[in-house]
Amino acid sequence: QVQLVQSGAEVKKPGASVKVSCKASGYTFTTYAIHWVRQAPGQRLEWMGRINAANGNTRYSHKFQDRVSFTRDTSASTAYMELSSLRSEDTAIFFCARNNLEGAGYYMDVWGRGTTVTVSS
Amino acid sequence: DIVMTQSPLSLPVTPGEPASISCRSSQSLLNSNGYNYLDWYLQKSGQSPQLLIYLGSNRASGVPDRFSGSGSGTDFTLEISRVEAEDVGVYFCIQTLHTPFTFGPGTKVDIK
């Protein structure tokens, strides 16, 4: 079945970086984009950006663009999100989600289960 | 950035009764292609968000027909014709017309 499987929980110190993976299965990886969404405690969901799995083109939210990087490995059907210069406010669940590159809209029809990142000294 | 608001933020519901959630955007979400770039998601406790409605009024695959989306421009509504117990959770709207995509604050729906 179609699914996105994310890597496990991480605990990081302030100033460190974290890299989260999102492995796709059950569909052709390169026909979709992968979005990354952050859910911090008590905060509304935040869209971090997206990567076109076909050509690797990225679009970042200005809020994160100075310290986030999206990459993908098409041979492994896996997308990656790396966030650097972590601070306590980055403690959150990070979700990946796909949207079809064809047709209108950027709706995300399949989501990963989320990766919890805790930033603590 | 486009600001999304929702009302109410909390909605106690009675099973079998209808429910309605409003979502408003600070700018029009109507694209030149005729679609409104507004989607609705439900996040049940401890789960990932799940797509309910896309492009304003299109039900996602597998979504029961008691869910419907309407509206255009800056005002949108999600309606549940007859609430069921499994519908509890937090409902979010999101605009995807302009980056950064932005979410509403969420409406928490629970059973009275």
Give the whole-angstrom CA distance, residue B55 versus residue B104: 15
pLDDT over 90 at A1, yes or no: yes
Does A108 sit within 8 Å of B102, measured CB to CB? no
Per-residue pLDDT tens over the stretch B51-102: 999 999 999 999 999 999 999 999 999 999 999 999 999 999 999 999 999 9
B-chain residues within 8 Å CB-CB of A95?
Answer: 48-49
pLDDT of residue B9: 98
Chain A, chain B: beta-carbon pairs less than 8 Å apart: 65
What percent of chain B lies above the pLDDT cut of 90?
100
Per-residue pLDDT tens over the stretch A45-104: 999 999 999 999 999 999 999 999 999 999 999 999 999 999 999 999 999 999 988 888
* Closest-approach residue (CA) in chain A for B62: A109
Mean pLDDT, chain B, rounded, equals 97
* Closest-approach residue (CA) in chain B for A65: B100
Residues of B with CB under 8 A from a CB of A: 31, 33, 35, 37, 39, 41, 47-51, 54-55, 60-61, 92, 94, 96, 99-106
Give the whole-angstrom CA distance, residue A68 versus residue A49: 9
pLDDT of residue B12: 97
DSSP type of residue B85 = G
Does B55 sit within 8 Å of A106, measured CB to CB? no
Per-residue pLDDT tens over the stretch A97-108: 999 888 888 999
Q: What average pLDDT does range B27-52 have in this prediction? A: 97
Does B92 sit within 8 Å of A44, measured CB to CB? yes
pLDDT of residue B86: 97
Per-residue pLDDT tens over the stretch A12-43: 999 999 999 999 999 999 999 999 999 999 89
Give the whole-angstrom CA distance, residue A111 versus residue A94: 11
CB half-sphere exposure, B72, CA atoms < 13 A: 5
Q: Is the peptide bond before B100 cis (omega within 30 degrees of 0)?
A: yes
> In angstroms, what CA-CA distances link A57 with A107, A120, B36, B99?
18, 32, 24, 15
Burial of A121 (C-beta count, 10 Å sphere; 0-12/13-18/19+): exposed
pLDDT of residue A103: 81
